Structure 1
Amino acid sequence: MRQKRVIALVFAAATMLAATGQATADGRSHHWDIDHARAVFVQTNKPKSAGGNTIRVFKRADNGRLKAAGEFKTGGNGGAVAGAPTDALASQGSLVYDGRLLFAVNAGSNTITLFRVRGTELERLQVIRSGGLLPVGIAVHHGLVYVLNAGGDGAVQGFRLGHDRLHRIAGAHRSLDLGNPERPNFLRSPAQVGVDPHGRFVLVTTKTNDTVLAFRVGHGGRLARRPVSTADSNGPFAFTFDTRRTLLLVGAVTNTLTRHRLDRGGSLRQIGAPVPNGQQASCWIQRVGNFYYVANTASSTVSSYRVKNGKPVLLNGTAATIPGGGTIDMTASGRFLYVQNATAGNVQGYAVNGDGSLRLVTTATGLPRFANGIGMEGIAAS
């Protein structure tokens, strides 16, 4: 009797393992595979007239290749700033993946969408007002979420994440005092919101206002009433951190990368001279391991950098040349860099070699092309 019971338990366990770890006859994976698949997410930013904003999902293979895996509605509409040549939102961070959650902006309906991610499947959890006009960027840090609104004066709105829901934080709505119209020109709109690794400051870049604003984060995610402002004449666009207190900032006017130390008061102190890459309209930045890649939208190239002896060093001004023009946002998954090309309507994936050079491994096509001032923008990866 005991032996029969053991056999039955083994059979049940084997049946469960088969159901959760194997593919069905039609090729669709069951729960275990879905949860553990790596994916690249692309925001189409489609307006209401085209059916509304959606997220296209691509499954990433171990060799970096992408395969279409579905499309999911955000419940909002895409939008655009005015006059952008290839990048409708003119920002970095409009689609953010963090800990099995995906955050998307709906610029045309002044909302943001929260999804739960299970591999290549998205479950829409919430659509909530962004706290301003024309949301273009999101930053997530340890359960705090800050949304960058580009329209009008511009604003940052803070949210607390709890039980997979976003809750507005009283005392975390701050104007940027940009004095723009409801739909700002792309040069006048803010470019990125981010939180420093210590969680002490929320940073915002303002492009041709030539400033980086730092709002101190207080109790419960509240923000200081006034930011600390650091002037930067390079046209500050996107940034990332290379150490706990050191920031790498892309200059879209001078096509440079500069390194800055964020002091305890919120000011940025430049370290060394700006490092040019010889390209045009340098805007987005993505870190992969010890290397940093900058997308140059006007020349449709990607430049590669590395930090040596405390200073950024240009490795290759044209580490990749993207056919079709319109290189914009980027993301990384493992040792692969994925570059969004709005004009061509595709995403190209590159393997990052040991010396920082790039090798093309995949091209995902069939995405919306930039036309009439609007197109896809926003890319993230698990």
Structure 2
Amino acid sequence: MSRIIRVICLLLALPLGAQAVQAAPGGAATARVFSMTNAPAGNEILMLSYTPGSGLVMNGSVASGGAGTGAGLGNQGGVVLSDDNRWLFAVNAGSDSVSVFRVLDTGLLLVDTVASGGSQPVSVTTFGDLLYVLNAGSDSIAGFHIGVTGQLTALPNSVRYLSGAGTGPAQISFSPWGDALVVTEKATNLITTFVVAGGLPGNAIINASVGATPFGFGFDRFGHLLVTEAAGGATDASSVSSYELSADGSLAVLDAAVPTTESAACWLLTSKNGRVAFTTNTASQSISALRVGRSGELTLTTEDGVAASTGAGSSPIDLAITGSGRLMFALSAVDGSISAYGVRANGTLSPLTGATGLPTGMNGLAAF
């Protein structure tokens, strides 16, 4: 099942059509955007910038000191920024390592590359001076301390295992308050959580996903967990569910498997105000938007489930949004393109000028 989803969520994409340069809603907005090549001969971080006058443009790349796989990772969170945008972290799935970069005004500086504490790292998350990595090949997580200069130090007794072997894990993330870790397992239809105390996770808490193939997730403004369900790639069968995450790590369903009416909803991103959730529908070449109510209720903002079209065959995957919440970007890995959108508070998206001609096989997306 996870193999099917990896294929569906990385379908061959076609170049996006040219678009007129526009300003983001509310006036001019700029951004810095990062992805990675995931190349087996040597992973590199791609650096891009967005301005209203030029759109999204490539500014160069920096070697990570590790290697990618050259294939889809079936993941979310392969490239992430620290909350203060001082550090950028990236997985090297082909060399079982994680890299740390200092974010400078002029680019990126590699400061550390360390073993990931398992095999095939695909996703990372941070909270304060803690970093946890999801190792898909070993179905495990491992923790690190982030030093003041960016170096990573493995946390003793931090390795924990998921529900079993061959779980097809997609993403790891801290809860908004750093008191829990959440992992989605595509192949088992489970969501595994760990209560965090003193920087260390407790035993795995196994929760059933209300929908099939849980993949990407995020949190709303009240800390509710929002999870995409790719439904094994079935046509127009994808959905999103919301959960209450309890102090003991258990999940209680709030709104169950709300349809996006689209196919292969794999990635999810919440708006900065936490009122809207966006999903990329990889097999439908679209982005859906869902309003999130106070009690976690989910409602599509458009009847047909299409808040934006990324172009025929574009196969959008990773999403990233800026700190202001006014700009959002969507990655299409196989054809090497990133589309750009202005974001309004109600979740309305306005297409802006993205970038094409980037290296194929990219993975992960972060922006500020």
TM-score by length of 1: 0.81
- Cα 1:354–1:205 change in 2 (3 A) is closer
Hey, what's the Cα distance between the residues in 2 that align with 1:249 and 1:133?
A: 25
**Could you tell me which residue of structure 1 aligns to residue 27 of structure 2?**
none
Shift of 1:309: 5.0
Contact in 2 for aligned 1:213/1:229 (Cα 8 Å):
yes
Shift of 1:171: 1.1
| 1:268-292 CA-partner distances (Å, limit 9, x unpaired) | 1011332101111111111223322
Alignment of 1:27-176 (within 5 A): 38-48=31-41, 52-61=42-51, 65-79=55-69, 88-98=72-82, 99=84, 100-152=86-138, 154-163=139-148, 164-176=150-162
- The count of aligned residue pairs is 322
- Cα 1:193–1:135 change in 2 (3 A) is same
Hey, what's the Cα distance between the residues in 1 that align with 2:180 and 2:68?
A: 29
**Could you tell me which residue of structure 2 aligns to residue 325 of structure 1?**
314
Shift of 1:355: 3.6
One-letter amino acid of the structure 1 residue matched with residue 214 of structure 2: P
Following TM superposition, the consecutive aligned residue runs of length 4 or more in structure 1 with deviations greater than 3 angstroms are none
What is the percentage of aligned positions where both structures have the same residue?
A: 34
2:288 to 303, 307, 318: 303
One-letter amino acid of the structure 2 residue matched with residue 228 of structure 1: I
What is the aligned-residue RMSD (CA, Å)? 1.7
TM-score by length of 2: 0.84
**Could you tell me which residue of structure 1 aligns to residue 327 of structure 2?**
336
Structure 2: which 5+ runs fail to align?
A: 1-29, 232-236
Contact in 2 for aligned 1:38/1:120 (Cα 8 Å):
no
Hey, what's the Cα distance between the residues in 2 that align with 1:64 and 1:264?
A: 47
Hey, what's the Cα distance between the residues in 2 that align with 1:80 and 1:107?
A: 9
Hey, what's the Cα distance between the residues in 2 that align with 1:378 and 1:298?
A: 18
1:270 aligned onto 2:259? no
**Could you tell me which residue of structure 2 aligns to residue 16 of structure 1?**
none
Shift of 1:353: 3.0
Contact in 2 for aligned 1:70/1:120 (Cα 8 Å):
no
Hey, what's the Cα distance between the residues in 2 that align with 1:309 and 1:59?
A: 35
Structure 1: which 5+ runs fail to align?
A: 1-36, 82-87, 181-187, 370-374
Hey, what's the Cα distance between the residues in 2 that align with 1:273 and 1:161?
A: 37
Shift of 1:114: 0.1
- Cα 1:246–1:64 change in 2 (3 A) is farther
**Could you tell me which residue of structure 1 aligns to residue 17 of structure 2?**
none
**Could you tell me which residue of structure 2 aligns to residue 27 of structure 1?**
none
Hey, what's the Cα distance between the residues in 1 that align with 2:185 and 2:221?
A: 23
1:363 aligned onto 2:347? no
Contact in 1 for aligned 2:171/2:184 (Cα 8 Å):
yes
One-letter amino acid of the structure 1 residue matched with residue 265 of structure 2: S
Which region of structure 1 is more displaced relative to structure 2, 249-258 or 294-303? 249-258
**Could you tell me which residue of structure 2 aligns to residue 4 of structure 1?**
none
1:190 to 163, 169, 172: 169
Secondary structure at 1:170 match in 2: coil
Contact in 1 for aligned 2:335/2:357 (Cα 8 Å):
no
**Could you tell me which residue of structure 2 aligns to residue 284 of structure 1?**
267
| 1:88-130 CA-partner distances (Å, limit 9, x unpaired) | 1111100001121000000000001000001350000000000
Hey, what's the Cα distance between the residues in 1 that align with 2:240 and 2:280?
A: 11
Structure (1 or 2) with the greater helix fraction:
1
One-letter amino acid of the structure 1 residue matched with residue 143 of structure 2: G
Contact in 2 for aligned 1:259/1:271 (Cα 8 Å):
yes
- Cα 1:328–1:319 change in 2 (3 A) is same
**Could you tell me which residue of structure 2 aligns to residue 212 of structure 1?**
191
Contact in 1 for aligned 2:163/2:204 (Cα 8 Å):
no
